[in-house]
């Protein structure tokens, strides 16, 4: 697995790559969560269903997010998971195991709606 490293602002860096590491998997999880369903022109069926499965009233959004995390290449298991919504801000904290390391990786994802 090899991906371009993201800057602190979330932009791809041209000459910096991550490969075969837990950090690489953590970045892939974050970018998969940020991708909205139908947003990517090459595959409109890929993405997180933010409109219906997460932002809708009474939706089981935790299951959708956990499914996206487990569907990421390199993730083998979710060790712990928690989420909260405060003032229209969804915060997700997940600890995952990857195929590249036995040390769990902590992933934090925040979004404001």
Could you read off the pLDDT of 28-75 as tens digits, one per residue? 999 999 999 999 999 999 999 888 888 777 778 899 999 999 999 999
* 35, two tokens: 């991708």
Q: What is the DSSP string of 4-48?
A: EEE-TTSPEEEEEEEESSHHHHHHHHHHHHHSBTT-STT-TT-SB
Phi and psi for 65 in degrees, rounded to 5? -65, -45
Instruction: Yes or no: say if 54 and 45 are a contact pair by the CB < 8 Å rule.
Output: no
| pLDDT at site 107 | 92
In the chain, where the domains are located: 2-112
| CATH node for 2-112 | 3.10.450.40
Q: Write down the pTM of the prediction.
A: 0.88
């Amino acid at each position: 697995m090899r991906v371009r490293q993201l800057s602190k602002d979330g932009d791809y860096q041209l000459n910096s790559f991550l490969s075969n590491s837990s950090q690489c998997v953590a970045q892939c999880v974050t970018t998969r969560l940020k991708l909205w369903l139908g947003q990517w022109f090459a595959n409109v069926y890929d993405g997180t269903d933010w409109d219906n499965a997460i932002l809708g009233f009474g939706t089981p959004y935790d299951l959708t997010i956990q499914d996206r995390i487990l569907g990421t290449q390199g993730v083998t298991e979710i060790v712990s998971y928690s989420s909260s919504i405060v003032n229209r801000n969804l915060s997700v904290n997940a600890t995952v195991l990857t195929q590249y390391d036995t040390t769990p990786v902590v992933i934090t994802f925040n979004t404001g709606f």
